[in-house]
């Protein structure tokens, strides 16, 4: 079925990756152990979503509050120096010219996303933005992608997701949405390939042709 909507990840995809993710995650894990008296040694490269999934419902809600408290300052700092990846604006303009709906699905907070988009002058381009303020099940869980598709008013078969990490690709797969992995972000090429995206590109310049083939 023809593509009618494109969902983008934010950090590392639309934006040059500047979020100090490991520092934020280390602080989050330390706070989590202190607050919940958890002895489990979580690995820093494990997605936060997996850490949350291993907790009881009550502890999960507490952990989510800690997540917001810890991560948002890091996200705000990254937003203040946000920079578009090369070719992003041209691709967005191309998609808009073809009446394709645009969305962002990100594990970041809404406040930081809005600040990022204003910083790079892209705050009027997106029809839908879904953040962790909207969905507690973060990527690589597919629920965030499904919620974004729903808000776009489209079917999963009419949407493609573009991201720079294996977590993005896995979330798209779980949601039944086609995916484009773009290199140059948080995950290296081999990790992206291992997640088996539908398409793999090295720059935004390659995306218009991929979309044209799906229109």
Cα–Cα dist 62/188, whole Å: 33
Exposure on the CB side of residue 76, measured as CA atoms within 13 A: 7
Q: What's the pLDDT band for 1 if we cut at 50, 70, 90?
A: low
pLDDT classification of 55: cutoffs 50, 70, 90: confident
207 or 43, greater pLDDT: 207
pLDDT bucket at 42, cuts 50 / 70 / 90:
low
Question: Coil, strand or helix: which one is 180?
Answer: strand
- Per residue in 58-112, pLDDT (tens digit) is 888 998 999 999 999 999 999 999 999 999 999 999 999 999 999 999 999 999 9
Task: Answer yes or no: are the C-beta atoms of 177 and 156 closer than 8 Å.
Answer: yes
Average pLDDT score over residue span 177-192: 93
Q: What residues have CB less than 8 Å from 2, skipping those under 6 apart?
A: 158, 214, 215
**CB-based contacts of 32, cutoff 8 Å, min separation 6:** 38, 42, 51, 63, 66
CA angle 59, 60, 61 (to 5 degrees): 90
Mean pLDDT of the chain: 92
pLDDT class for 53, splitting at 50, 70, 90?
A: confident
Specify the 3-state DSSP secondary structure of 16: coil
Q: Are 194 and 166 in contact (CB under 8 A)?
A: yes
Cα–Cα nearest to 207, from 102, 90, 111, 104: 90
pLDDT at 45 over 80: no
| Confidence class for position 185, pLDDT limits 50, 70, 90 | confident
């Amino acid at each position: 079925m023809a593509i009618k909507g494109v969902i983008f990840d934010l950090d590392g995809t639309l934006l040059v990756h500047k979020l100090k993710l490991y520092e934020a995650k280390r602080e989050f894990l330390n706070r989590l152990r202190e607050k919940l008296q958890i002895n489990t040694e979580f690995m820093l490269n494990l997605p936060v979503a997996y850490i949350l999934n291993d907790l009881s419902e009550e502890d999960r809600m507490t952990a989510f509050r800690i997540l917001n408290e810890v991560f948002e300052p890091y996200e705000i700092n990254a937003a203040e120096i946000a920079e578009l990846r090369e070719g992003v604006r041209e691709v967005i303009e191309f998609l808009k010219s073809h009446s394709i709906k645009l969305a962002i699905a990100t594990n970041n907070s809404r406040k930081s996303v809005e600040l990022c988009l204003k910083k790079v002058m892209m705050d009027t381009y997106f029809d839908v933005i879904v953040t962790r303020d909207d969905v507690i099940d973060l990527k690589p869980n597919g629920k965030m992608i499904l919620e974004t598709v729903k808000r776009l008013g489209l079917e999963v078969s009419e949407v493609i997701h573009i991201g720079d990490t294996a977590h993005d690709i896995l979330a798209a797969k779980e949601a039944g949405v086609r995916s484009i992995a773009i290199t140059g972000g948080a995950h290296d090429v081999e990790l992206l390939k291992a997640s088996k995206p539908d398409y793999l590109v090295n720059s935004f310049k390659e995306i218009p042709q991929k979309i044209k083939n799906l229109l």
